Amino acid sequence: MGSPDLGRPELTPAIVQDADSGRVLMLAWMDEEALRLTRETGEAWFWSRSRRQLWRKGETSGHTLAVEELREDCDGDAILVRVRPAGPTCHTGASSCFAPWLWRRIKERELERSEGSYVVSLLDDPKLAARKVGEEGLEAALAGASESDERLVEEVADLWFHSYALLAARGLDPAQVEDELRRRVR
Ligand SMILES: [Zn+2]
């Protein structure tokens, strides 16, 4: 603050982490003012490099971040922001900006809700999505048993896509599947 050499605030990368799951949600930038506002309000504020202004996360979407803890790294050039999010953190509607690409695409389709979208028809009908997972699972199995590598890749792509759509249709998130897998390894 009060630096005479204008324009560009000193920016520190802020790694935003879910306080419960430990999952990394997003990366953003903080200047001193963002840090001060975050401390004062208990909600995450950042500096937008593209808009060149301070912004309160969720000021338009309502998906704010309640800050549990701010932690500086060993030499003070990064901040860990541990939060409880009020909704999906990513603008795509995914819970994390680092969610798998396919998932972010599906959540984007869900937000857009374009007329005639196949994804939307699956999201609106969990039974249809479930039936497709059954069909694609069988096709992937058949391809795996006796068809070319190319066919197997195609069928597994269909299976993954429809599995994600089914999770979305049921209001679930692949992060929950990851958590379940991690629990089994422990
Ligand atoms: Zn994002």
Domain locations in the chain as residue ranges = 12-85, 101-185
Averaged pLDDT for residues 152-165 = 98
Q: How far, in Å, from the CA of 156 to the mean position of ligand 1?
A: 26
Q: Give pLDDT, residue 9.
A: 60
The residue that leads in pLDDT, 6 or 34, is: 34
Q: What is the helix (H) or strand (E) element at residue 56, kind and residue range?
A: strand 53-56
**5 pLDDT above the threshold of 60:** no
Tell me the C-alpha distance between 130 and 128, whole Å.
5
Q: How far, in Å, from the CA of 139 to the mean position of ligand 1?
A: 33
Q: How far, in Å, from the CA of 54 to the mean position of ligand 1?
A: 17
Tell me the C-alpha distance between 119 and 183, whole Å.
30
**94 pLDDT above the threshold of 80:** yes
Using pLDDT thresholds of 50, 70 and 90, give the confidence band for residue 143.
very high
Q: Name the CATH superfamily for 12-85.
A: Phosphoribosyl-AMP cyclohydrolase (3.10.20.810)
Q: Give pLDDT, residue 8.
A: 52
**107 pLDDT above the threshold of 50:** yes
Q: Give pLDDT, residue 179.
A: 87
Instruction: Indicate the average pLDDT of the chain.
Output: 93
**180 pLDDT above the threshold of 60:** yes
Which residues have a beta carbon within 5 Å of ligand 1, which is an ion?
90, 97
In CATH, 101-185 is 1.10.287.1080: yes
Q: What are phi and psi of 62, to 5 degrees?
A: 85, -5
Q: How far, in Å, from the CA of 102 to the mean position of ligand 1?
A: 13
Using pLDDT thresholds of 50, 70 and 90, give the confidence band for residue 83.
very high
**155 pLDDT above the threshold of 90:** yes
Q: How far, in Å, from the CA of 114 to the mean position of ligand 1?
A: 21
